[in-house]
Structure 1
Amino acid sequence: MEHSRHRMSSLWKNQWFFLLIVILGISLITAILNPRFLRINNIINILQQVSTLGVVAAGATILIISGNFDISAGANLGLSACIMAMMIKSGVPSVLAVLTGLFVSMFCSFLVGAASIMFKAPSFIISLAAAGIFKGISLALTAAVLQNIYGQFEFLGATRFFGIVPLLFLVSLIVYFFVFILLKYTLLGRRIYSIGSNPTAAYLSGINIKLNKLIFFMISGGLIGLAATMMLSRIGAAQASTGSGIELTAIGAVVIGGTTMDGGKGGIVGTFFGVLLMGVIANSLNMLQVSPYLQGVINGVVIVIAIAVSSLSQSDQKRVV
C-alpha cells in the first residue's frame, strides 16, 4: 500500500504526467462541446501539426538544457525550405535538394553558435539578429514570391501507415527517441547537462565548452532542416515567412514540458507532452471557433503559466535543499 502511494506521488511530481492529465481534460471538454474533435481525420490533423513542431522542439530541448537559445530557428527553417523548394522547382532531384537544405540549416545554426562564442555574447541575442539575416536572404532569393512545388514532393506529407498514422508523426517519434537516447545514455548527453548546470565546473573537469556548444547548435540545425523538409512535403510550398514563430512555440513547449530556462534540467519526454498539449489546445480552439486573435492570447497565457509553475517549482526545490 505504501509502495503504491510512493509510486503515485512520484508520478504527480513528473511534469509529463501532469501534462497528460491536462491534455485528456481539454480533449474531453472539447469532445463534449464538439464531437467532431474525436473524428479520425481531426486526430490525424493534430498529429501532423505537432510533428514539425516536435522536431524543432527536440532540438530546442538540447539547447535549453545546455543553457542556450536559438530564436532564429523559424527563419532558418524558412530559408532551408525556400532553397529546397527552388531546387525541386528547377528540376533538381529531391534527395539532393533535401541534403542541401539540411546542410544550409546546420550551417546557419553553426554560425549562430560560432558568433555567440566568438563575441562572447548570449546566444539569445545573436540568434535574434541572425533571424533577420536569414529571413532577408530568403526574401532576396525568392523575391518574396511563393515557391510552389505542389505534387512534386509529397512522399513524407502524404504517406499514411495503415491508412491512419501519418509518416510525419512517426518521423517525429524517431527524433524523440534519438534525443532521449542522446540525453540519457551518451557522453555528449552528460555534457549537455553538465554545461547547462555549471559551465565553470564543466570546464574545470576537462570538457571543451566551445566545441560542445557548436555540436549542440549543429544538432539543433540538423533537426530544423528535417522539420523544414517535413513542412515543405506537407504544404507543398515555401516562402520567407514559412516557419515564422515556430521557435517561440517550440520553446514554450519545451518549458511547459519541465525543462528549466536556467539550463541543466529537463528531458525530451516532457517536451513530447508539451508539444502535444500545444497542438491539442490549438486544435480545440479552432474546433470551438475561438477568434484567431484570442488564440494568440491564450497560447501566450499558457506559456507564461508554464514558466511561472516551473519557476515556483525550482524555488521550492532550492528551499528544500
Structure 2
Amino acid sequence: MVELKSSNNGVLPKGKKPIYRNQWFFLLLAEIVLAIITGSINPRFFGISNMTNILEQIAVLGILASGMTMLIISGEIDISVGANIGLVSCVIAMMIKNDVSYLWIAVVALGLAAFNSVLVGSSSLIFKAPSFITSLGFLSVFRGTAYAITKGVFQTIYGKFEALGLTRIWNILPLGFLIGILIYFVSHFLLKYTKLGRHFYAVGSNPAAAYLSGISIFRTKLLAFLINGLLVGLASMILLSRVGAAQPTTGSGLELRAIGAVVIGGTPLSGGKGNILGTFFGVLLMGIISNTLNMLRVNPYFQEVVFGIFIVASLAVSAFSAYAGKGIFKKRIG
C-alpha cells in the first residue's frame, strides 16, 4: 500500500520536522562539545577577548558563505570568490592611498565585485558550461589582473579605513560581525519569504520543471551571481579594513572555506535545498575549529591539513545526505 506523507515528494513538511533532525542542531552540539574540550584544556578560550576574536574572524567568512548559499541552492558555484576579493581589495586599497572618497570606494568595491561575479555567471550560462569550470578560469583572470595593477607589491593603507573592520560595539561586539548577522537575516528573508528565493530553490532542484512553470532560468541564476558578487564586495571592504593591507593573494582559500561551511551546514552541492541557519552554524564551527587549533598551538601547516580534511568531510556529509534522502523517499512510497 502506498502511503504519501505529503505532496513534497514524500517528505514531511519543514514546519513539522523535529529539531534533532536538522543538521544545524548537530553542528551546535559539535560546537558545544568542542568548546568544552578546548576550554578545559585552555581556560582562556572562554575569555571575552577570545570570544570577540572568534566573532571578528568569522565575519568575512559568514558574509561570503551567505552569498555562496544562495548560489549553491540555485544549482551554481563560484570558486573565483577568493581571487575576486584579492582584486577588489587591491583596487580599493590603491584608491584609499590616493585619498579617494569612502563613498566612491564603497561603490567601486560593490560594483567591481558584482561585475566580476556576473561575468562568471553569464559566461557559464551563455556557453552552457559548468560554473565550476568558468569560475576556475576567471580565478586566474582576476588574480592575474591584481598582479598586473599592483606589480605584486603590498598595498598598505597606513591606518586608514579602519572603522568598518576594527570597530567594536561596547568594546565587545565587532561591527563586521553585526553586519554579518544583518546579512544572515536578509538572506534568510530573501530565501524563505520572497518569490526570488522560491525561484532559487526551484531552478536548483529541477530546472526543467522551473522553466515549464514560467521561471526564467537565466535571469534567476544571474541574480544569484549578482547577489553573491555584492556580498563579495562587502566582505572585501571589511577584510581590508581589518587587515590594513592588500595583495593579489588576499582572500585565497576563503572560497573553499565558504563552500565547506555551506555544505556542512546542510546545503548540498546538487542545489535545491538548504538554509541560512545551517550556514551560520557551519561558519561558526569553522571559526571555533580555527580558534581551537590556535589555542592548542597546533602547527599552522597542520591547520591547513585539518581544514582540508574538513572540506572533504563536508562533501562526504553532502553525499551521505543525498543518499539517505533517496532511501527515505523509496521507503515511504514503496
TM, length-normalised to structure 2: 0.92
Corresponding residue for residue 207 of structure 1: 215
Q: Name structure 2 gaps, 5 residues minimum.
A: 1-14, 330-334
Q: Name structure 1 gaps, 5 residues minimum.
A: 1-6
- Pairing 1:74–2:101 present: no
Say if 1:195 and 1:272 are closer, same or farther in 2 by CA, change over 3 A: same
Tell me how far apart the structure 2 counterparts of residues 228 and 267 of structure 1 sit (CA, whole Å).
24
Tell me how far apart the structure 2 counterparts of residues 264 and 309 of structure 1 sit (CA, whole Å).
16
Corresponding residue for residue 160 of structure 2: 152
Question: Which of 248, 253, 257 is residue 265 of structure 2 equivalent to?
Answer: 257
- Pairing 1:197–2:205 present: yes
- Pairing 1:316–2:321 present: no
Tell me how far apart the structure 1 counterparts of residues 43 and 68 of structure 2 sit (CA, whole Å).
34
Question: Which of 40, 43, 46 is residue 35 of structure 1 equivalent to?
Answer: 43
Q: Could you tell me how far 1:187 is from its partner in structure 2?
A: 0.2
Tell me how far apart the structure 2 counterparts of residues 28 and 243 of structure 1 sit (CA, whole Å).
30
Task: Give, as a single letter, the amino acid of the residue that structure 1 aligns with 2:312.
Answer: V
Q: Could you tell me how far 1:306 is from its partner in structure 2?
A: 2.6
Q: Which secondary structure does the structure 2 equivalent of 1:69 belong to?
A: coil
Contact 2:268 2:274 in 1 (8 A): yes
Tell me how far apart the structure 1 counterparts of residues 105 and 317 of structure 2 sit (CA, whole Å).
43
Task: Give, as a single letter, the amino acid of the residue that structure 2 aligns with 1:260.
Answer: P
Task: Give, as a single letter, the amino acid of the residue that structure 1 aligns with 2:202.
Answer: S
- Pairing 1:296–2:312 present: no
Tell me how far apart the structure 2 counterparts of residues 161 and 12 of structure 1 sit (CA, whole Å).
34
Q: Could you tell me how far 1:150 is from its partner in structure 2?
A: 2.6
What is the root-mean-square deviation of aligned Cα atoms in Å? Answer: 1.3
- Pairing 1:231–2:235 present: no
| Deviating more after overlay: 120-129 vs 291-300 | 291-300
**Mapping of residues 121-200 of structure 1, within 5 Å:** 121-200=129-208
Q: Could you tell me how far 1:277 is from its partner in structure 2?
A: 0.2
Q: Which secondary structure does the structure 1 equivalent of 2:18 belong to?
A: helix
Tell me how far apart the structure 2 counterparts of residues 8 and 181 of structure 1 sit (CA, whole Å).
20
| Deviating more after overlay: 282-291 vs 36-45 | 36-45
Tell me how far apart the structure 1 counterparts of residues 176 and 204 of structure 2 sit (CA, whole Å).
31
Q: Could you tell me how far 1:314 is from its partner in structure 2?
A: 2.1
Task: Give, as a single letter, the amino acid of the residue that structure 2 aligns with 1:64.
Answer: I
Tell me how far apart the structure 2 counterparts of residues 8 and 304 of structure 1 sit (CA, whole Å).
31
**Number of residue-to-residue matches in the alignment:** 315
Corresponding residue for residue 47 of structure 1: 55
| Deviating more after overlay: 91-100 vs 301-310 | 301-310
Q: Could you tell me how far 1:8 is from its partner in structure 2?
A: 11
Q: Which secondary structure does the structure 2 equivalent of 1:225 belong to?
A: helix
Q: Could you tell me how far 1:316 is from its partner in structure 2?
A: 1.9
Tell me how far apart the structure 1 counterparts of residues 171 and 278 of structure 2 sit (CA, whole Å).
29
Question: Which of 114, 121, 128 is residue 122 of structure 2 equivalent to?
Answer: 114
Task: Give, as a single letter, the amino acid of the residue that structure 2 aligns with 1:139.
Answer: Y
- Pairing 1:219–2:227 present: yes
Tell me how far apart the structure 2 counterparts of residues 58 and 210 of structure 1 sit (CA, whole Å).
21
Tell me how far apart the structure 2 counterparts of residues 312 and 117 of structure 1 sit (CA, whole Å).
29
